Structure 1
Amino acid sequence: MNPIPQPGIFCPGALAGQPVFIVLPGGGYHRHGDHEGAPVARWLNSLGLNAVVLHYAVAAEQAPDALHPAPLNDARSALKWLRSGKSGLAVDTTRIGVLGFSAGGHLAATLATGAGAPPAADRPELAILAYPVISLVSHCHQGSVDALLGPEAPWDLRRALSAELAADAGTPPTFLWHTADDAAVPVENSLAYASALARHSVPFELHVFPHGEHGLGLAAQEPEAGLHPAAAWTARCAAWLAGHGWCTPNGTV
């Protein structure tokens, strides 16, 4: 079964055989931020990378039950679908990345660390996390915790799905960015994850910008307002991807 509806597929013929990213928009596990979906996929296309935008399961405003493990199952299904080569998409099945924003960043990190799955679980080759929810036990975004696990979630489950505690040597190289004054998801989430990656000798690149509200996406603004300072993350990420041989900063594969 195809887990990605056609509108979520950004794999143009010109990019046949190139790597692919699973894009996971944020939204506190309650919704999907449109600005963190299709525009991000088109940016990846501009770098010579394929993309699929996954609208994973989210909770209703008054969800009677905990959402977990539905979003993680959706992400694993998307990865399996792409990895199998049976998707019908002309992508490189050996180079699959994940890019997540906010709560989508939490989902991306759980996929990357194998949190809540056996150690042998398939994982993406690279991960990009933008102002991610990482921890469900410290400096939490409580709205994401409540939507994903319910307001009375047991502490052992919150720990099991805290990506900074699940990271290991098998976690893929990761690019992270955050703003220091993010009032919704504290920057400590990215700092804790970077520290965990360092402990396990996993290559990572972390950028913390001094100012910026939560949910910036590509951080582009109207031309008359100029670019947000955090908009530099896309160029720095492109250079990081080039360093891994997935593209070059100007988009030439």
Structure 2
Amino acid sequence: MTHADEIVFLPARAEAPESRPLMLVLPGGGYAHHAPHEAEPVAAWLNDAGLNAVVFRYPVAPQRHPEPIVATRSLLAALRRGEHGAFDVSRIGVLGFSAGGHLAATLSSAPTAAERAAHDVDARPDLAILCYPVISMTDLVHRGSVDALLGPDAPVAARAALDADALVDERTPPTFLWHTAADEAVPVTHALAYTRALVRHGVPADLHVFAEGAHGKGLATGLGPLEGWTRLAVDWIREQGW
């Protein structure tokens, strides 16, 4: 279950916020903490774009899998029921950074049988935005995320079960991704693998790879071409009819 102090709802700065879509923001932090610059500042940017936003500080180490996805899926179900503010419950997206991107991708996959039984509402978001996401737990891994989520001694089978690209199916929502070719913490191959899986399953995908930029730049304000991702993302959201 979630706790009230883990959820921050920021209503759209526009008329009739109850008719506006909502984005669920999942900050990164390697499943060990929550990066502040990928939380409320991102929600404020979404507000300026006319969207409601919820920042969720999901469970992190020492809590391990499946706690983050169970808590986030439960929050999504609560949002579908109209809890935590007034917004259009038929249009809920998810936006995740780094490890939060892995969680967003996992949320976009099929829920387990137990999760389906627990929630009588749609258990997936309607669209997803993944920012320099951790995708693979077995190939060119981000060691910190693996260790925090599964433990340093997790067997290969346990890690492979959370390879987000392997969880994509035909019901995965349309997805916007961005990454940098220069990212040394989480290689761009993560975003490429996820995009390939989306295309293979016929899911609309929009991938942007920037040549320069280190990992974890958030909104990338003032960082030249890199900050253009926010405009690209807003344009893509509008293309989805939002």
Instruction: Give me the TM-score of the superposition, normalised by structure 1.
Output: 0.88
Deviation (angstroms), 1:151: 0.9
Distance 2:3 2:41 in 1: 20
Check if 1:188 corresponds to 2:189. yes
* 1:131 aligns to 2:132 (yes or no): yes
Residue 242 of structure 1: aligned partner:
238
1:108 equivalent to 2:110? Answer no
Partners of 1:211 and 1:80 in 2: CA distance? 38
Q: Which residue is equivalent to 2:42?
A: 40
SS of structure 1 residue aligned to 2:88: strand
**2:205 aligned partner, one-letter code:** F
How far apart in 2 are the matches of 1:229 and 1:240?
Answer: 17
Mapped pair 1:91 → 2:87:
yes
Residue 70 of structure 1 aligns with which residue? 67
The alignment partner of 2:64 has SS state of coil
For residues 3 and 104 of structure 2, what CA distance do their matches in structure 1 show? 16
Is the CA contact (8 Å cut-off) linking 1:56 and 1:74 kept in structure 2? yes
Letter in 2 for 1:67: R
List runs of 5+ in structure 2 lacking aligned partners.
Answer: 117-121
| Structure 1 segments of 4+ aligned residues over 3 angstroms from their partners | 1-7, 118-121
Tell me which residue corresponds to 1:249: none
8 Å Cα contact 1:3-1:77 kept in structure 2: no
- Does the 8 Å CA contact 2:105/2:130 hold for their aligned counterparts? yes
- Work out the CA distance in 2 between the residues paired with 1:133 and 1:8: 24
Q: What is the CA distance between 1:5 and its match in structure 2? A: 3.2
**C-alpha RMSD of matched pairs (Å):** 1.8
What SS class does the counterpart of residue 187 from structure 2 fall into? coil
TM-superposed CA distance for 1:114, in Å, is 2.7
Query: For the Cα contact (< 8 Å) 1:4–1:53, is it kept in 2?
Result: no
Q: What residue identity is the alignment partner of 2:8?
A: G
**Structure 1: which 5+ runs fail to align?**
222-226, 247-253
SS in 2 for 1:97: strand
What letter is aligned with 1:114? Answer: A
* Identity level (%): 53
Residue by residue, what CA displacement relative to the aligned partner does 1:120-160 show, whole Å, maximum 9, x if unpaired? 67100000000000010111101100000001112222111
How far apart, in 1, do the equivalents of 2:186 and 2:6 lie?
Answer: 31
Mapped contact 1:126–1:174 kept (Cα < 8 A): yes
Aligned-pair CA distance for 1:78: 1.1
- Counterpart of 1:230 in structure 2 is 226
Q: Is the 8 A contact 2:96 2:130 kept in 1?
A: yes
Structure 1 residue 74: Cα displacement: 1.5
Preserved CA contact (<8 Å) 1:10 1:45: yes
Which residue in 2 is equivalent to 1:9? 9
The question of whether the paired residues in 2 share the 8 Å contact of 1:133 and 1:141 is answered with yes
Q: CA 1:195–1:9 in structure 2 vs 1: closer, same or farther (change >3 Å)?
A: same
- Aligned pair count reads 234
Q: What's the TM-score once normalised by structure 2's chain length?
A: 0.91
State how far apart, in whole Å, the 2-side matches of 1:6 and 1:151 are.
Answer: 26
How far did 1:228 drift? 2.8
